[in-house]
Structure 1
Amino acid sequence: MSAAQLAGYCDDHLHLLACAAARRSSDVRAATSVGGLLSLIRQGAREQAAAGGPGSWLRAWGYDDALLDERRHPTVAELDAAAQDVPAVLHHITGHVALVNTAAGRALGLAGGELLIERQDVLAGVPRSDRAETVSGVAAVLADLAEANITICTDATHTNDLEALELLADAAAAVPTVSITAMVGAGRLASLGDRGFGTAVQGAEAAKGGPGSVRIGHAKVMPPHDDDSAIAALVAEARAHGFPVAIHVMDIDTLDATLDALEAHPLPGPAVESDRIEHCALALPEQLDRIAQLGVKVVTQPSFVTRRAQKYREQLSPTEQEWLWPLGSLLRRGICVTLSSDAPTVPPDPAEWIEAATGRDLAPAERIDAETARRLCWRSGAGR
């Protein structure tokens, strides 16, 4: 596909700050075994110790335990041996979990031997780049999007608050050719003050007369620690602030809880935008019928079907594989769909999404034609 054909595409679900952080991290995506992963950690720790001196942390990113030969995470002892005394944080490619060695765990106040970290409040204690460096990193990510002819993007990060939106707006000032909409965590809407859905947030440069701004998007609902019982309360909180919601859904049980919450807390009056389901990785046919009845939009990532095919074949039954990452079934029900990357987990490359949507091996009944797939990379999507 030519650059001209890709012009104007939208990545409707990515994570700009995570993309910038991944660029600053040791990239371990090439590891295919625990031994290979530890070798990369060992090399990164040596480089970090030489460059940063005492107290410097190693941040590595991009491993997937399900795709390593051993199908497991490294142990604490293995990480300790590889990183030595350098505090090391190893981020899973999904961004939802991280591993820490003993030195990092001690600095974060964790109990001895605790390894797998899913709590964002704990990971927030890892030292970060200063604001200027972070803005510069996000601007570099936006420049890459522009180079790929992606001119619109939606940051779907559940930890976003007003401070994060202002930071993104400063980065947008440097790359005004990419329009940013950013979600805000459903539990963080109070940080916006009187700013509502669809309004603009300006950064420091914009306040000085620069062009940078970010549109406030949906309230992002991320069930804490996979506690689906929290979804209804977060949807209710979003409604109290006048926001449509975008709910993270990766399995059938979470989808059931999501649909129950949306039915219990409908959008009031004529909505400016519909609610969204993010991912929709597994869905029963009757659940898809409910999505259609509710008029909810689905923002999905077809690249996962091809990039994680081995994992799905090993971990899902043949019947579950037929329910995996529905696409054709959504469109046949008239559901509005857009394709996206979930970057940095998957590269923001519309050509890859289209190829995955049209040529997937798992659940081939969900394939769609190339022209439809191309249309789904635009913000408007397809269906109603």
Structure 2
Amino acid sequence: MSTTSALGYRDDHLHLLGCAAARRSVDVSAATSIEELLATVRQAVRRRSAAALAARRQGGAVSAGDASHSWLRVWGYDDALLDERRHPTVAELDSVAAGYPAVLHHITGHVAVVNTAAGRALGLASGDVLVERHDVLAAVPRPDRAATVASVTDVLTELATAGISACTDATHTNDLAALELLAEAAAGAPSVDVTAMVGADRLDSLGDLTFGMTVPGPSAVSDEVGVRIGHAKVMPPHDDESAIAEMVATARACRFPVAIHAMDIDTLQASLDALEAHPPILDTARSAGSERIEPDRIEPDRIEHCALALPEQLDRIARLGVAVVTQPSFVTRREQKYRDQLSVTEQSWLWPLASLLRRGIRVTLSSDAPTVPPDPSEWIEAATSRTLAPAERIDSQTALRLCQVL
């Protein structure tokens, strides 16, 4: 984290390693059908095969020393926006990429389709559609550290060019090793202040480091550049919302505020129950000798996304003093999906903004990149001119304030 930061925009929820990985992937985000998606992958396979053949003819090797080059990484599809309204199948992915282990990542990063070759390499009987199986996908070969660091530095440089001078990496798989890598990358783009969350189940990796401290970058570059340790990220298992309370309790034991991923009403309810059952623990070092800690001196817990929320849940968020970090672009980019899948009443509860602010809730806008581009002008446009649940629109000056560095 840089010691000084020029006034600019802040992207308070993105995924830097995910952005770097998306840059290295076959991009199918523009595909509107599975047929179009498969055609894009087929073309990429042909280009790769032609490059490998040319290298062999010249007596060289395409992938010497880096197993990641033998895999095909594809990114960016959204089943809800494809004509077929479904995930591609393993057989379909096999039909265009049978010669390579291939992983097709959903644009959100929470689902992946692996073809038969990739599935077997990962210890599965065949290919599969993997939901929140980061434990399995962690075995996919990755570029070496130097290449990854350079790619993340490029991402940070592009953020700076877009006027973003601070960002928060909200990746739930972050541990100390990930923070050290991000700190090394940040040393190459010191104009962007980087905060990184740590997975609530990975806090032990920090050792003596704790919330608010800085993981420094390479001292040879600068002792003043690194990554600030942010909230403990709570990613609820897709099949077990009861685990939220346990993860919040773990974070409290380590004296961390939490940031909980909540995209639906049930998950939000379980999150608020957990926050109520495990209130924040004041930092004894700050409170020693003081009879009272002012609320604005305590970093609030966060709800990430708050995509769907009942009015009474918003009241409860306000009472608990929880902040909301949200992504208004989703309501415009996925408008047709929401109109197709949600009732009119549910649509009125979708991606609240004005309702949060009326209750005095602290709100920050963000991108969730690489799912949505880190473009503050898009967030502001979505927040001010949304046609779905227009009662949640806010004015442009308020939207600007919600994504500026304070």
Describe how 1:213-232 pairs up with structure 2 within 5 A: 213-232=226-245
Moved more, 353-362 or 118-127: 118-127
Q: Which residue of 2 aligns with 1:9?
A: 9
Q: Which amino acid aligns with 1:89?
A: V
Q: Which residue of 2 aligns with 1:90?
A: 104
- Separation (CA, whole Å) in 2 of partners of 1:376 and 1:128: 36
Q: Any conservation in 2 of the 1:173–1:206 contact (CA below 8 Å)?
A: no
- Separation (CA, whole Å) in 2 of partners of 1:250 and 1:324: 10
Q: Which residue of 1 aligns with 2:18?
A: 18
- Separation (CA, whole Å) in 2 of partners of 1:195 and 1:7: 28
What is the aligned counterpart of 1:289 among 308, 311, 315? Answer: 315
What is the aligned counterpart of 2:349 among 307, 310, 323? Answer: 323
SS at match of 1:263: helix
Q: Which residue of 2 aligns with 1:249?
A: 262
Residues 204-246 of structure 1: CA distance to partner in whole angstroms, max 9, x if unpaired?
A: x236645431000000000123421100000000000000000
What is the aligned counterpart of 2:299 among 270, 273, 293? Answer: 273
Q: Any conservation in 2 of the 1:176–1:211 contact (CA below 8 Å)?
A: no
Q: Which amino acid aligns with 1:302?
A: P
> 1:160 Cα deviation (Å)?
0.4
SS at match of 1:355: helix
Q: Any conservation in 2 of the 1:197–1:242 contact (CA below 8 Å)?
A: yes
What is the aligned counterpart of 1:146 among 125, 150, 160? Answer: 160
Describe how 1:304-343 pairs up with structure 2 within 5 A: 304-343=330-369
- Separation (CA, whole Å) in 2 of partners of 1:48 and 1:105: 21
- Separation (CA, whole Å) in 1 of partners of 2:148 and 2:200: 24
SS at match of 1:225: coil
Aligned-residue RMSD, C-alpha: 1.6
> 1:117 Cα deviation (Å)?
4.3
Q: Which residue of 1 aligns with 2:207?
A: 193
- Separation (CA, whole Å) in 2 of partners of 1:193 and 1:201: 12
Residues 250-303 of structure 1: CA distance to partner in whole angstroms, max 9, x if unpaired?
A: 000000000000000000234630000000000000000000000000000000
Q: Which amino acid aligns with 2:178?
A: A
> 1:175 Cα deviation (Å)?
0.5
- Separation (CA, whole Å) in 2 of partners of 1:299 and 1:104: 35
Shift of the 117–268 alpha-carbon distance from structure 1 to 2, 3 Å rule, reads closer
SS at match of 1:228: coil
Q: Any conservation in 2 of the 1:48–1:58 contact (CA below 8 Å)?
A: no
- Separation (CA, whole Å) in 2 of partners of 1:11 and 1:94: 17
Moved over 6 A (4+): none
- Separation (CA, whole Å) in 1 of partners of 2:175 and 2:275: 23
> 1:111 Cα deviation (Å)?
2.2
Q: Which amino acid aligns with 1:138?
A: V
- Separation (CA, whole Å) in 2 of partners of 1:72 and 1:233: 33
- Separation (CA, whole Å) in 1 of partners of 2:131 and 2:275: 30
Normalised by the size of structure 2, how large is the TM-score? 0.89
- Separation (CA, whole Å) in 2 of partners of 1:257 and 1:48: 47
Residues 6-55 of structure 1: CA distance to partner in whole angstroms, max 9, x if unpaired?
A: 96110000000000000011111111111000001111222334344698
Q: Which amino acid aligns with 2:264?
A: D
SS at match of 1:206: coil
Q: Which residue of 2 aligns with 1:124?
A: 138
SS at match of 1:184: strand
- Separation (CA, whole Å) in 2 of partners of 1:29 and 1:114: 21
> 1:109 Cα deviation (Å)?
0.9
- Separation (CA, whole Å) in 2 of partners of 1:226 and 1:306: 28
In structure 2, the gaps of 5 or more residues are: 1-5, 53-61, 283-292
Q: Which residue of 2 aligns with 1:57?
A: 71
Normalised by the size of structure 1, how large is the TM-score? 0.94
Q: Which residue of 1 aligns with 2:329?
A: 303
- Separation (CA, whole Å) in 1 of partners of 2:307 and 2:166: 24
Q: Which amino acid aligns with 1:250?
A: M
Q: Which residue of 2 aligns with 1:168?
A: 182
Shift of the 338–238 alpha-carbon distance from structure 1 to 2, 3 Å rule, reads same
Residues 119-146 of structure 1: CA distance to partner in whole angstroms, max 9, x if unpaired?
A: 1010001110110000000000000000
- Separation (CA, whole Å) in 1 of partners of 2:353 and 2:219: 39
In structure 1, the gaps of 5 or more residues are: 1-5
Q: Any conservation in 2 of the 1:13–1:342 contact (CA below 8 Å)?
A: yes
Describe how 1:205-216 pairs up with structure 2 within 5 A: 205-206=218-219, 209-216=222-229
Q: Which residue of 2 aligns with 1:3?
A: none
Q: Which amino acid aligns with 1:13?
A: H
SS at match of 1:330: helix
Structure whose alpha-carbon radius of gyration is higher: 2
Q: Any conservation in 2 of the 1:119–1:225 contact (CA below 8 Å)?
A: no
Shift of the 207–161 alpha-carbon distance from structure 1 to 2, 3 Å rule, reads farther
> 1:341 Cα deviation (Å)?
0.2
- Separation (CA, whole Å) in 2 of partners of 1:364 and 1:7: 30
